[in-house]
Amino acid sequence: KVTISRATASITYPARFMLVAAMNPCPCGYRGHPLHQCACNERQVAMYRSRISGPLLDRIDLHLEVPAVNYRELSAGDAGEPSAAVRERVNRAREAQKKRFAGGKVVYVHTSAADGFQVDPDAVRAQLTPRTKAILVNTPANPTGASLSSATLSALAQLGPLVVSDEIYHGLTYAGEEVSALQFGGTEGVCVLNGFSKAYAMTGWRLGYAIASRDTVRAMQPLQQSFFISASAFVQRAGIAALREAGPDADRMREEYARRRLHLIRRLGDIGMELGYVPQGAFYVLADVRRYTSDSLSFAFDLLRSAHVAVTPGIDFGPGAEGHIRLSYATSIGRIDEGVRRLGEYLSTHG
């Protein structure tokens, strides 16, 4: 079976440093390893240094030790008050479910391949109300691989509500300018979420951080302390190793992703699946299969049964992605070729 998925990834990942460090003895601080705090501030603030001003660097309050995915839930509103979050329509559907569970209302803004999955700031403005607590974006994005432009992020930062920018794929941009929402709103208007899962290939380690104003962090802390406390000590040691030792391997991984991105786009074109946009980052493409089906879930299961190729159905990312499938190029060129060949044969008999 061929899986076009990160689960079967084939690449020189920078994991060796983290694995060795995680197995070494270490002091187990209950609230977090001091070396990790130091290393994270050194490396991650430096990563944003070229994009944000000196005075802003002095005001950054960086908190880590839990998965970045959880910081999204902690940052979207005031406790006890129903809130609304505006976000793009193609997204990870479970995020919307978590907002609703907390008593919030999620309002979607439509994006499409025709405009490169860029969020229209005017469309966001039209959805804002006095109850809107946050504008949630993901750049580079899962599942599209699209990156929001400087103009888009700048305009969103001027709208008023807190911009919660999920930048977990920051550092995995292969085309165009790589930008951060911090460039435009500072920490008073922006909360950036990031982690180690993607740029350091540490998906299962569940280590993330938030860069936000002190007021925002203080509001998040009571919930964080109730649910998470801190990351395990050995995970923090792995994070230190990633920040201090894995840079060259991470660079090689990014270069390989860039090569595979172009290869997958070209191979999909060979079987008649033009994307209609160019994914700039992450390690995904979102392919339109509406001429073959209106039910992406059934399509994905039938493709798995018939051709033994696993893809992610678009409906997993919300109604805006129905009729699409997500493919990942976090696997070898050989697997990409074989997977696309089988996909092409399947489409030729189901057109």
Q: Within this chain, do residues 261 and 236 fall inside the same structural domain, yes or no?
A: no
- Considering the domain architecture, whether residues 165 and 278 belong to the same structural domain is answered as no
Instruction: Tell me the whole-structure pTM to 2 decimals.
Output: 0.79
pLDDT at 230: 80
CATH of the domain at 48: 3.40.640.10
- On whether both 213 and 193 belong to a single domain, the answer is yes
Last residue of a domain, one of 245, 263, 292: 245
Per the structure, how many domains does the chain have? Answer: 2
Residues 47 and 58 in one domain: yes
Same domain, 214 and 289: no
pLDDT of residue 175: 93
User: 333 and 225 in one domain?
Assistant: no
Cis peptide before 161 (omega within 30 of 0): no
> Whole domain around residue 301: which residue ranges?
2-10+248-349
| Burial zone of 201 (CB within 10 Å; 0-12 exposed, 13-18 middle, 19+ buried) | buried
Residue 205 and residue 92 share a domain: yes
pLDDT averaged per 10 residues in sequence order, the chain, 351 residues? 45 60 56 55 57 52 52 49 53 57 79 92 95 93 95 94 95 93 85 94 90 88 80 90 92 97 97 92 96 96 98 93 96 97 95 69
- Assess contact for 257 and 250: CB atoms under 8 A: no
DSSP secondary-structure letter at 285?
Answer: E
User: Are residues 252 and 103 both part of a single domain?
Assistant: no
- Contact assessment for residue 199 and residue 250, using Cβ atoms and an 8 Å cutoff: yes
Same domain, 253 and 241: no
Say yes or no: 316 and 283 in one domain.
Answer: yes
Helix, strand or coil, per DSSP, at residue 202: coil
CATH number of the domain encompassing residue 281 = 3.90.1150.10
| In a shared domain, residues 167 and 48 | yes
Same domain, 6 and 26: no
The pLDDT score that the predictor gives to residue 58 is 55
Q: What is the pLDDT of residue 45?
A: 56
CA 343 – CA 231 distance, rounded (Å): 40
Q: Which of 245, 273, 302 represents a domain boundary (last residue)?
A: 245
pLDDT at 42: 56
Q: What is the pLDDT of residue 27?
A: 53
Residue 140 preceded by cis peptide, ω within 30 = yes
Final residue before a domain boundary, out of 245, 277, 311: 245
